[in-house]
Amino acid sequence: MTYELILGDYAYSSWSLRAWLLFDRFGISRNLTLVDFSLGSVPDQMPGWAPAKTVPALRTSDGAIIGESIALAEELASRHSDLPLWPSDPAARATARSLTAEMHAGFGALRSDCPMNLRRAYTNVPPSAAVEADLRRIEVIWDHARQTCAPSGPWLCGDYSIVDAFYAPVAARIAGYGLRVSDSAQAYVDAHLNDLSFRRWRAMGLVRGPDLNRYKMDHATTTWPGPTPIAARAVEDGTPENTACPYSGKAITHLMETDGRIFGMCNPFCRDKTVADPDAWPAFTTMRDS
């Protein structure tokens, strides 16, 4: 089953990030369309998607159109019962659903004061009292989930599931604005920053589309707090080690260099997303390390 999925800008669209993580993390097939936040009205860029008017939106093979992220996640879980989109344990599943619903409906101050911008990281940001209240509530429910579900890994309710995809943009905001949270909450934020799916999304956000001034904030900037990618750069000349693009299998047209080695991709976006974070892309690392 292949879905039609429409998303917003990688760097800025927090709801799109949630949906994309579910497809990427669980290997669900999709044909992807992107709207461009720099081009104005999102609904005007979605002809044929009514009644959906925001991103993300999903069209199923039987013609259903789903324009709400939480409904999108639930529909994927229903249609792919073989995949652990929700925890299998009833108590963990109930906890995950509760936290996901609260994320979908709440934390307005954090969303408003700290819009997601994966191209910037800020320091010395003074949170408002309302943002502080949101952060303290987030600490409470994250600790509750981990105490209730007792996961062996870093995620909230067991293995990675819908609830973690929904809190990924919260982690991005806490990290990107340097907001202070408890040690346990920071460990959960760090798990997202190190997650390869999250890193792939951010790498694409760094190289696709223009900077949008409406997402920039008047704070001092600093380096992104996640893993530092290995050095890589686009180059014009050289002899690539590979003969076909690792992503598409198509002919090579654009080159990159890392650690003194040259590799080729089939278009500038494939090259640039790899340059942004080479180790985030298994198709590239498998080729590089073979």
Upper half-sphere CA count for residue 269 (Cβ side, 13 Å):
9
Give residue 1's pLDDT.
Answer: 73
pLDDT below 70 — which residues of the chain? none
Give residue 40's pLDDT.
Answer: 87
Strands 3-7 and 30-34 turn out to be: parallel
pTM above 0.85, yes or no: yes
Residue type, position 114, single letter:
C
Give residue 220's pLDDT.
Answer: 97
CB count in 10 Å sphere of residue 216: 14
Q: Are 264 and 253 in contact (CB under 8 A)?
A: yes
CATH of 3-79, one of 3.40.30.10, 3.20.20.140, 3.40.50.360, 3.40.50.300: 3.40.30.10
So where are the chain's domains? 3-79, 90-200, 233-289
pLDDT tens digits, 91-100? 999 999 999 9
Give residue 54's pLDDT.
Answer: 94
In angstroms, the CA 13 to CA 77 distance is 22
**CB burial string 104-140: b at 16+ within 10 A, e below:** beebebbbebbbbbbbbbbeebebeeebeebbeebbe
Give residue 2's pLDDT.
Answer: 84
CATH 1.20.1050.10 matches 90-200: yes
Helix intervals (H) in the chain:
14-25, 69-79, 90-105, 108-113, 129-149, 162-176, 183-194, 196-207, 268-276, 282-289
Q: Are 18 and 29 in contact (CB under 8 A)?
A: no
Q: Are 117 and 216 in contact (CB under 8 A)?
A: yes
